[in-house]
C-alpha cells in the first residue's frame, strides 16, 4: 500500500544495539519479565494521560475508560499489549524507541563482562524497559497515536531488533499504544492462554487500571482488581504483591530488602510506601541521576522522581507518596515552596531511618546492605545533623578487633569492648585495610589491647570530622600527635626526650628540611619510626585529595617520632660517620612515610640511598679479605 512506501528505515543508536545484544543473551532465564515491563509502560502511559487530562479534560472525552488489554493469538504466535493512554507521536517514537536517554549508558555498557549471570544482574539494575520485548520476539510492531492528535497522525514502528527499525505514518482511530510481539518459534507459550493467565496475575494485581485478557473466541476477562496497591490496607496486601509492585516501580529484577507502608492522618494526610533495594543502581554515584519518589495526589499520578521528599543521601529509596492535601496542579517549583513539604520530608526521613534501624538488626541482610549503601549513609552523617546520632548507630567499620577487612563493627560494638574509663574511640585513616592494620601508629594501642577503627573509604576523613563524638566518647585519630599513649609505662615523655637529647638533635639537624621536629615516640612497639601530623595539620588522605583537586596547600612538615627501643635506632645512634648517619636518618623517615601510605617526594633519591646501604657491607667485606 501507499503507506508502506513511505516507511523510513533508521538505525538504532549504538547503545541500543549493544543493549539489545547483551539483553537477549543474558536475560534468557528471566525472559517472562518482558510482560511486566510492557504492562508497566502501559500503566505509566495511562498515568500520564490522566495527569494531562487534569488541565485538558477533552483528552478523555471520546474514550473515558482507561485500561490495558492483552490480546493473545495462538495461531499467529502473537501477544499484544494495548493501552488507551498518552500515546506517542512520530517524533516521540523515534526518540523513545530508538535511543536510550539515560545518562551514563555507555559507561554502564562498558562494564558488561560477557558472563551471562553477572550481566543479567547488572542489566537488572539498569532496567531494560521496552527493549525486553526482543528477548521473546523476533519482530515487534508498535502502533500509536498521541492523545489529542487527529487519527491521521498515527505512527507505526517496526523492528526485528537487529540494528534498525522502520517508522511510518498511519491512520489510527484509537488513542494510545499497541505493542505487538511476533514470538520466536521457541517462545510461543506466551501466546497461550494458560501460560499468560498464570503470569499476568503477578504482573497486574498492583496496577491501578483494569487489565483485560482476550484470547481466541473466549469472552474478555478482567485479570486484576485495578486498585492502586498503596491504597489498600496493609493486611490485604501479600508480600509477593509488595515485591511485584517494587519491581514495577523500580525496574529492579531483585526483591527489595524491606518496605514500609503507612497512612498518615490528621493535619496532613498522605500515604507512603517506601522500599529499601537490595542492590545499588548502576548510577548511584552520579549525583545528577534521577532519584526520588513517585508522587500521586489523590491517586492521580503527578510526577516521577520527586526528589523533594527525601534528602540526597537517601536517594536509593524507592517508593510512592500519595498526598490528599497537595493541589493537583502541583509542579516541582510549587512543591518546593509548599509549607508542608519540610514536615513531610522529615517524617519520611524518620520512617526510612526506622527501616534502616530495623534492618541493621538483621544479621543476614544488613552486611550486604552496608556493602552496597554504607558509603551513602556516611554522607548522611555529614549532611543531616538532626539525624546524626541515629545514623551513627547504623555505621559499620572494620577494626583491629575483626579478623578481615569486612566493615562489620558498630560503634556500640566498639564501646562494649572498650576498657573501663576509656574516653576515646580511636580510628586510623589509611589508603587500604592492609596499610591501616600494619601502621606503626597503632602499635602501642594494639599491644595494649585498645581497639582501633580502620577507615579506608574516601569519605571517611569527612565522616570523622562531622561525627566528632559518639555517646559522649571523643573520636581520636590514632595517627595524631596528641594521642595519649595508653600503656606506655611510667617514664614521662620529657624524661625520654632528655635521655636521648643528643640523638634527637643530630637527627633534627640532618632532616631539618624535611620534618618539623623529631621526638621520642611512645606509640611504637615494632617499628623504628613513624610520622605524625600536628593537631592542626591535614591528614595525608585529605591532603592527597585536596592536591588532586588542584588546591594550593599550606606548607606543612610532619613530626618524626622514633622508637628508641628499636635496634635500627640504636644502630643509628652508634653511627659515627656523618654521611652514613644522614643516609640512615633519611631512610628512617622515608620508611615512616611509606608505612603510612604516603608518596615520597623524591623516590629516585630514596632508591640511591638504599642501594648504597645495601652495597656497603659487601664493600666492607671485600676490603677485609
Ligand atoms: P522507560 O520506561 O524506563 O523510560 P522504556 O524503554 O521502557 O524505558 O521506554 C522508553 C520510553 O518510551 C518511555 O519513557 C515512554 O516515553 C515511551 N513508551 C514506552 N511504552 C509506551 C506506551 N505504552 N505508551 C506511551 N509511551 C511509551
Residues 406 and 264 in one domain: no
Residues 133 and 276 in one domain: no
User: Is residue 105 in a domain?
Assistant: yes
Three-class SS state of 595: helix
Residues 189 and 306 in one domain: no
Give the pocket of ligand 1 (CB within 6 Å).
41-42, 45, 83, 85-88, 96, 127, 129-131, 177
Total domains in the chain come to 4
Q: What is the pLDDT of residue 487?
A: 43
Residues 449 and 527 in one domain: no
- Gap from CA of 189 to ligand 1 centroid (Å): 25
Q: What is the pLDDT of residue 537?
A: 67
Residues 88 and 39 in one domain: yes
What crossing angle do the helices spanning 501-510 and 567-574 adopt, rounded to 10°? 80
Written as one string, the DSSP assignment of 321-346 is EEESSS-TT--HHHHHH-TTHHHHHH
Please name the helix (run of DSSP H) or strand (run of DSSP E) that holds residue 51, with its range, or none: helix 33-55
Residues 216 and 244 in one domain: no
625: pLDDT confidence band, cut at 50, 70 and 90? very low
DSSP letter (8 states) at residue 299:
T
Task: Please choose, from the candidates 135, 41, 130, 21, the residue with its C-alpha nearest in 3D space to the C-alpha of residue 87.
Answer: 41
Q: What is the pLDDT of residue 481?
A: 65
Q: What is the pLDDT of residue 493?
A: 67
Residue with cell 475508560: 65
Residue 4 above 50 pLDDT? Answer: no
Q: Average pLDDT, stretch 220-233?
A: 93
Looking up residue 96, the CATH number of its domain turns out to be 3.30.565.10
Vertex 94 angle, CA 88 and 99, to 5°: 115
- Gap from CA of 130 to ligand 1 centroid (Å): 6
Residue with cell 513517585: 294
- Gap from CA of 562 to ligand 1 centroid (Å): 66
Looking up residue 402, the CATH number of its domain turns out to be 3.40.50.11260
Residues 137 and 192 in one domain: yes
Closest residue to atom 15 of ligand 1, CA basis = 96
Task: Using a pLDDT cut of 70, give the percent of the chain over it.
Answer: 94
**Which of 20, 42, 44 should be mutated for ligand 1, with most atoms under 8 A from CB?**
44
- Which atom of ligand 1 lies at the shortest distance from residue 251's CA? 3
User: Is residue 388 in a domain?
Assistant: no
Task: Using a pLDDT cut of 90, give the percent of the chain over it.
Answer: 64
Task: Please choose, from the candidates 317, 467, 310, 459, the residue with its C-alpha nearest in 3D space to the C-alpha of residue 385.
Answer: 467
Query: 335-378, pLDDT tens digit by residue?
Result: 888 888 999 999 999 999 999 999 999 999 999 999 999 999 99
Q: 158 - beta bridge partners?
A: 141, 166
Q: What is the pLDDT of residue 29?
A: 80
- Gap from CA of 349 to ligand 1 centroid (Å): 30
Q: Average pLDDT, stretch 256-266?
A: 95
Residue 624 above 50 pLDDT? Answer: no
Domain boundary among 419, 451, 477: 477
Q: What is the pLDDT of residue 21?
A: 86
Three-class SS state of 116: helix
Domain boundary among 169, 194, 223: 223
Residues 283 and 418 in one domain: no
Q: 313 CB contacts (<8 Å, ≥6 apart)?
A: 376, 377, 379, 380, 383, 384
Residues 108 and 139 in one domain: yes
2: pLDDT confidence band, cut at 50, 70 and 90? very low
Q: What is the pLDDT of residue 177?
A: 98
Task: Please choose, from the candidates 287, 359, 290, 276, the residue with its C-alpha nearest in 3D space to the C-alpha of residue 318.
Answer: 276
Task: Please choose, from the candidates 314, 310, 470, 312, the residue with its C-alpha nearest in 3D space to the C-alpha of residue 392.
Answer: 470
Q: Average pLDDT, stretch 93-111?
A: 85
**Which of 41, 156, 180, 251 should be mutated for ligand 1, with most atoms under 8 A from CB?**
41
Residues 433 and 316 in one domain: no
* Strand-strand pairing, 211-215 and 221-222: antiparallel
Closest residue to atom 8 of ligand 1, CA basis = 129
Cell of 448: 595494649
618: pLDDT confidence band, cut at 50, 70 and 90? low
Query: 42-78, pLDDT tens digit by residue?
Result: 999 999 999 999 999 999 988 999 999 999 999 999 9
- Which atom of ligand 1 lies at the shortest distance from residue 179's CA? 23
Three-class SS state of 39: helix
Written as one string, the DSSP assignment of 236-272 is GS-HHHHHHHHHHHH--SSPPSEEEEEEE-SSS-EEE
Whole-number CA gyration radius for the chain: 33
Residues 206 and 340 in one domain: no
**Interatomic CA distance for residues 70 and 72, integer angstroms:** 7
In degrees rounded to 5, what are phi and psi of residue 436? -60, -50
Closest residue to atom 19 of ligand 1, CA basis = 41
Residue 552 above 80 pLDDT? Answer: no
* Strand-strand pairing, 154-159 and 164-170: antiparallel
Domain boundary among 223, 249, 268: 223
Task: Please choose, from the candidates 216, 145, 221, 134, the residue with its C-alpha nearest in 3D space to the C-alpha of residue 176.
Answer: 145
Average pLDDT of every residue of the chain: 89
316: pLDDT confidence band, cut at 50, 70 and 90? very high
Q: What is the pLDDT of residue 539?
A: 67
Three-class SS state of 492: coil
Q: What is the pLDDT of residue 109?
A: 83
**Which of 40, 87, 96, 157 should be mutated for ligand 1, with most atoms under 8 A from CB?**
96
Query: 493-524, pLDDT tens digit by residue?
Result: 677 778 888 999 999 999 999 998 999 988 88
Domain that holds residue 60: 2-223
Q: pTM for the complete prediction?
A: 0.81
342: left (phi over 0), alpha (psi -120 to 50) or beta: alpha
Q: What is the pLDDT of residue 277?
A: 96
Q: Are residues 140 and 181 in contact, defined by beta-carbon separation less than 8 angstroms? A: yes
Residues 41 and 114 in one domain: yes
Residue with cell 526506622: 354
- Which atom of ligand 1 lies at the shortest distance from residue 40's CA? 2
- Which atom of ligand 1 lies at the shortest distance from residue 85's CA? 24
Cell of 464: 570523622
**Interatomic CA distance for residues 81 and 539, integer angstroms:** 59
- Which atom of ligand 1 lies at the shortest distance from residue 128's CA? 6
User: Is residue 510 in a domain?
Assistant: yes
User: Is residue 98 in a domain?
Assistant: yes
23: pLDDT confidence band, cut at 50, 70 and 90? confident
Residue with cell 633519591: 605
DSSP letter (8 states) at residue 469:
E
277: left (phi over 0), alpha (psi -120 to 50) or beta: beta
Query: 466-491, pLDDT tens digit by residue?
Result: 999 999 999 999 887 666 554 444 45
Amino acid at each position: 500500500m501507499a503507506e508502506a512506501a513511505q516507511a523510513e528505515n533508521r538505525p538504532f543508536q549504538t547503545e541500543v544495539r549493544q543493549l539489545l545484544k547483551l539483553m537477549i543473551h543474558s536475560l534468557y532465564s528471566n525472559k517472562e519479565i518482558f510482560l511486566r515491563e510492557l504492562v508497566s509502560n502501559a500503566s505509566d502511559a495511562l498515568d500520564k494521560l490522566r495527569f494531562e487530562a487534569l488541565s485538558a479534560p477533552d483528552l478523555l472525552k471520546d474514550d473515558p475508560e482507561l485500561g490495558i488489554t492483552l490480546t493473545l493469538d495462538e495461531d499467529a504466535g502473537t501477544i499484544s499489549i494495548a493501552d488507551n493512554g498518552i500515546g506517542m507521536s512520530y517524533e516521540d517514537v523515534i526518540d523513545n524507541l530508538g535511543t536510550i536517554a539515560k545518562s551514563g549508558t555507555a559507561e554502564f555498557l562498558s562494564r558488561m563482562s560477557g558472563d551471562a549471570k553477572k550481566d543479567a544482574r547488572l542489566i537488572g539494575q539498569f532496567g531494560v524497559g521496552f527493549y525486553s520485548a526482543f528477548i521473546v520476539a523476533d519482530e515487534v510492531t508498535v502502533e500509536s497515536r498521541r492523545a489529542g492528535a487527529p487519527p491521521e497522525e498515527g505512527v507505526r514502528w517496526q523492528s526485528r531488533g537487529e540494528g534498525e527499525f522502520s517508522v511510518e505514518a498511519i491512520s489510527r482511530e484509537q488513542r494510545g499504544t499497541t505493542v505487538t510481539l511476533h514470538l520466536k518459534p521457541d517462545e510461543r507459550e506466551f501466546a497461550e492462554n494458560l501460560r499468560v493467565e498464570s503470569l499476568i496475575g503477578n504482573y497486574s494485581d498492583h496496577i491501578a487500571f483494569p487489565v483485560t485478557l482476550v484470547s481466541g473466541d473466549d469472552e474478555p476477562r478482567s485479570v486484576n482488581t485495578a486498585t492502586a496497591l498503596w491504597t489498600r490496607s496493609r493486611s490485604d496486601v501479600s508480600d509477593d504483591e509488595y515485591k511485584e509492585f517494587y519491581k514495577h516501580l523500580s525496574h529492579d529484577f531483585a526483591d527489595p530488602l524491606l518496605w514500609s507502608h503507612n497512612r498518615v492522618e490528621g493535619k496532613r494526610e498522605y500515604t507512603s510506601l517506601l522500599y529499601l533495594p537490595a542492590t545499588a543502581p548502576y548510577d548511584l554515584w552520579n549525583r545528577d541521576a534521577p532519584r526520588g519518589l513517585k508522587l500521586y495526589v489523590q491517586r492521580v499520578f503527578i510526577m516521577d522522581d520527586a526528589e523533594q521528599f527525601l534528602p540526597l543521601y537517601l536517594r536509593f529509596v524507592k517508593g510512592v507518596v500519595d498526598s490528599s492535601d497537595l493541589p493537583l496542579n502541583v509542579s516541582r517549583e510549587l512543591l518546593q515552596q509548599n509549607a508542608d513539604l519540610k514536615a513531610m520530608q522529615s517524617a519520611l526521613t524518620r520512617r526510612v531511618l526506622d527501616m534502616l534501624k530495623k534492618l541493621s538488626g538483621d544479621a543476614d541482610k544488613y552486611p550486604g546492605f552496608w556493602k552496597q549503601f554504607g558509603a551513602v549513609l556516611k554522607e548522611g552523617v555529614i549532611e543531616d545533623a538532626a539525624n546524626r546520632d541515629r545514623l551513627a548507630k547504623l555505621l559499620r567499620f572494620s577494626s583491629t578487633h575483626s579478623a578481615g577487612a569486612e566493615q562489620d563493627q558498630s560503634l556500640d560494638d566498639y564501646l562494649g569492648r572498650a576498657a573501663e574509663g576509656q574516653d576515646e574511640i580511636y580510628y586510623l585513616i589509611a589508603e587500604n585495610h592492609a596499610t591501616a592494620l600494619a601502621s606503626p601508629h597503632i602499635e602501642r594501642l594494639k599491644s595494649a589491647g585498645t581497639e582501633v577503627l580502620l577507615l579506608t573509604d574516601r569519605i571517611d576523613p569527612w565522616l570523622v570530622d562531622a561525627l566528632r563524638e559518639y555517646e559522649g566518647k571523643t573520636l581520636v585519630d590514632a595517627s595524631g600527635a596528641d594521642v595519649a599513649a595508653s600503656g606506655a609505662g611510667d617514664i614521662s615523655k620529657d624524661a625520654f626526650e632528655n635521655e636521648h637529647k643528643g640523638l634527637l638533635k643530630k637527627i633534627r639537624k640532618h632532616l631539618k628540611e624535611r620534618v618539623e621536629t623529631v621526638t621520642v615516640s611512645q606509640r611504637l612497639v615494632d617499628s623504628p619510626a613513624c610520622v605524625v601530623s600536628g593537631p592542626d595539620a591535614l591528614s595525608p588522605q585529605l591532603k592527597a585529595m585536596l592536591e588532586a583537586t588542584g588546591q594550593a596547600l599550606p606548607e606543612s612538615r610532619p613530626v618524626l617520632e622514633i622508637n628508641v627501643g628499636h635496634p635500627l635506632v640504636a644502630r643509628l645512634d652508634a653511627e659515627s660517620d656523618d654521611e652514613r648517619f644522614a643516609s640512615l636518618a633519611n631512610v628512617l623517615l622515608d620508611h615512616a612515610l611509606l608505612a603510612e601510605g604516603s608518596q615520597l617526594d623524591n623516590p629516585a633519591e630514596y632508591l640511591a640511598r638504599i642501594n648504597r646501604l645495601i652495597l656497603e657491607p659487601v664493600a666492607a667485606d671485600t676490603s677485609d679479605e
